[in-house]
Structure formats: C-alpha cells, structure tokens
Structure 1
Amino acid sequence: MKLLRHGPKGQEKPGLLDAAGRVRDLSAHVTDIAGAALLPDSLARLRALDPDSLPLVPGMPQQDLRLGPCVGGVGKFIAIGLNYADHAAETGAKIPSEPVVFNKWTSCISGPDDDVILPRGSVKTDWEVELGIVIGTGGTYIDEAEALSHVAGYCVVNDVSEREWQAERGGTWDKGKGFDTFGPIGPWLVTPDEAGDIGNLGLWLDLDGQRRQTGSTATMIFGVAHIIAYLSQFLSLQPGDVITTGTPPGVGLGQKPPVFLRGGEVMRLGVEGLGVQTQRVVKS
C-alpha cells in the first residue's frame, strides 16, 4: 500500500493511492496515518479494503491536490549522519564505527512539495535526499534479526541542512537540521511488501534540472535493520517515529567549490519505488 495524507496544511486527511494514481479517502477507517494506525493489525485491515469502494478525492496528487507529510503526529524524528562511505569522503569525514545519531525537530516536518524556507541570514543551506523508515511496532532492545518486522513502511525524506549552524556554531548538529520546513516527508508511506529491496534502492536529487546526487542504499554503511536495533538500545521506538538514514554523495557542501541554496531554486528528488518530491526554495 501507499498511504498518504491529503489536504490543506494542518487539516490533512488519511488516504491511500490507488492503482490509477488517484487518492482514495480513508477517513471512515482511520483518523490519521499516525500512531496506532501504523500497527500491523491496522495495516492489515486497511490492506483488506477494496480501494475502488473508498471515496475518490478530487484532484491529482502533487498536481492540484496537496499532499501533507505522509505520517502525522510524529513523536521522534531521528536522523543518521555520514551513513554512505562516499558521502563521508566528500565531506572529509572519517567512516564512523557506529551510527552517527542526531535529531530533527518534529516542527521541521513538511509536505513533500511544500516550499523550503531559508533561515534568515543563511548562506549554507544544503540538500540531502534520504530513505526514511516509519516505525510500526515499537520496542526497546530490538534484535537485528527481528528489526524489519517493526517497520510500517518507507518514504522519501529531504534532510535539508544549514551547514553553518550545523558545524560552525558550536555544540551538536541538531541546530542546523531542524529549521522549519527542513523535513519534507513523503509523498507516501510505502509498506514493506511494495517497497522492493530496501537494501538496493536508487536515490537521486536534481537542483534546477541538474543532477546533483545519485546513489544507492546498497552503499549504506549501516543498513536499516542495524539502525533500528542500534537505536532501540538507548531509546524506545514508538509507532509513527521516523528515522532518516543518511544521504549519498553530491550534497552542496561536497561540490568544488561548494554550492548552497540562495532562494529561487527548485529541488526535485526521489527514492526508487517510493515517489518523488519537488520543493521550491524561498527566502524568509
């Protein structure tokens, strides 16, 4: 299934994408694509529905029908840094021996095609296409062999980053990662049965039509199961938590010379089988 949230900001309703690429409303069956709706029993009930029996939502998704973040009520938005060896190399960083963990504030979450707003005075805002994990069954001390059974689905994430605040203003990375609009999620949550080989998905990002990032989840240093098991050793994962898993090479910081967002650009990015995002960059 491809689950989504459609409608104006703050008023999104739950839905799913049918075989014709149209949105079907799920409001009669779940209140939101969030929390308990992401548990296995709930997903099984939604999967059993006939999409043609559900109300058709007017408009085409990502054209004249806005999609919101594909998950609502996110409790934790956890990120993994330097998780592609070639990306670590382009930034001059050492290959980590354990996952590098930081937070993106949940207030940064936005729809897949909403504008990305540059922070005031920003001169080093950057892009990062990533594979996102959405937790279904929560837990602590999760065994790596069982970790994938805790996944409700996968999605595209743009881990937008302000590099000056991330690396030059003291403290941890979190400050540069959590500005409002710095966490586009979606367009849809793709359940594991439709997500393909999660360990070998292509990722890409274009800036104003020019390819900047190309990569594959096959080159991740720490895979999805390892990340889930690792995080669960020191925090409880809960339904609806989102984990974004790192970016392949081609970020602005790694260009020679570096290239950063100034306003007016259009970012278009995607993960194989999980959909595409398009964001216009605007000055605050």
Structure 2
Amino acid sequence: MRPLQFLPAILVFALACNDTAVKPSKIFGQSDQQTADARTETKGTDELSANAEGQEGVLPPANISGSYLIDCTIFDSQKSQTSPAQVNFACGVSRKSGGAVASDGQWKGTILNPTADETLQTRDAKTGLFLLTTTKPEQLVTAMNKVSLSFDGTIEGQKVSLTETGQRTLSRDLAQVQSLIIRTSFTVQIVSGTRTGLVYSGTFQYDSSMLTGAAQETLEAQNLQFNYLTPQAQQFDSKGILNFVNGRFVSLVVAGGPATQRFGINTGFDRNQFGRPEEAFVPNGEQFFGYLATDGFVDGAGTLRYSFL
C-alpha cells in the first residue's frame, strides 16, 4: 500500500456571525457616563470604541467575529485498501483582509451526521490539530464535506467564539488545489474456455474530487493498464469508463485487443452468449470478462474483482 501525499493547501472556512452588536452591561463602580460611553457601538465593522476597548468585563461587538476566518492546512494524508483513509490538518485564525492573528483558546471539531465509518479526532485542542479518519477510502471526500469546527477564546486580546456550520466544506476547498487520486487494481480469473484457470490483472486510477456524490456518475479511467496476453492484445478501444453510485466506485467498462484477441470488460458481448453452468453469473447480470477465440467466436468468460491500492 503506498500513501498518497497531499500538497499543502490553505482551506478557508466562512464564519457565521451576528450583525447585531452586543451591548455591554454596566460594570460595578462605573458612572452612568462611563457606561454610556462603553455602550458606543460600531455596527458592520470590527472596530471597537475607545471607551469599550480595554475595560475588563466589557464584551466587544459581536460582529468582530465576522472579521476573522479559520484557516486549515492539510499536512499529511493517506488512503489504502486495508487501512483507513486519514487526513491530518491544523487550524488557525486569520483576518479576512489577510494575515494570521494571535489566538489563544480551545478548538473543537465534529462531523455533522456522522456514519459508523467516520471519526474526527481532536489531537490538540490548544493548537487546533485534527485527524479525520474513514474506513472507506472512497468516502473520504464525503466525510470531509461534513467537518465542522469551532474556536472559543481570545483573538488579539478580545473574547471571540467562532463556529463553522459546514456551509463551506473542507473538501470543496481542497478540490480546488489538490486532486484526490485513487489508484485501483482489478483481477480477472478465467473460469471457462481455452484459458480456464489463468489469471490476468490491471490497474487504473481516477480523481475522486471530480465526483459530486450523485446517484449515477461516470468518469474516464486514467492510466488504464491490463497485463493480458501480448502487448498488442493490451490495447484498448477507449480510455475506459468508470461507473459510480452515490460517490462509490462500481465498475470498469472497456473493450480492446486485435481481431484475433478481442476481449471485453462488462461490454462487447451479449450476456446470453455465455451459456455454460460456470458462466451463469454473466447472464445473471454480474460483472464479467469475456474473450474471443482466434476464429472470432466467443471462447469463454472470467470473474472480475477490484481492490484499492
């Protein structure tokens, strides 16, 4: 299994904020004039009034949080068939106008409507370090879609609570700067015909960031290779089509080979051409590999199995 390294990407979360400024309550010992001064509001900006700023116990206007963004950087990631897909990312705070700012507080992370396959671990609540894990590598983008983060503490000396509701998603920002390439292998086991018992294998890959999670989707296969017979027989008629259901890979469809060595993976044959008992899975609608004899007649069939690399 080879890990896939993700290029660093700054992923910016939009932050919900309240347009209505919070009115500070009167502090014990203040005069009425001091309290009135402290209640001076600046709506629609993060500027604090001179009187309110620096007074212990006086809350800044709520809209100050609208001046900040949560920045997250993915610094390590891996996907494989036998181990969970993992994404490590660290978060901080910056101004909307640009530039990181000092912050001191606690970070929390959750997955909205999580499944049993998805977990988000807060590795360091003080520094905003998180680990997202899913046992289904093909569902990594979906899991990242549901990440929600919150920060509660002080920013530039002011108490602020920031919450990301999930309206902007980690995976969509990631897709703009870094493809999620998933490499897959397939194995053909011949069960009938002159090549019964032989096994052939191949590989392909696809960019999972191109998927939307719709009920039915297709992508072109990338770097499709098939170790079948001779190099001439390994040529394809097309790049190959990959079928997906709800974001999950389902099948490869491609045909190839010269006239005397034709083959098809889930295509190129009428399923009713396979009538032997050991070929019953083909007319029953399961995935299949079919091949022709040198005289152009149907020779036999094989089963098909996929695995993530």
Task: Give TM-score scaled by structure 1 length.
Answer: 0.24
Query: Greater helix share, 1 or 2?
Result: 1
Query: Greater strand share, 1 or 2?
Result: 2
Task: Give TM-score scaled by structure 2 length.
Answer: 0.23
The answer to which structure, 1 or 2, has the higher relative contact order (CA under 8 A, 6+ apart) is: 1
Question: Bigger radius of gyration, 1 or 2?
Answer: 2
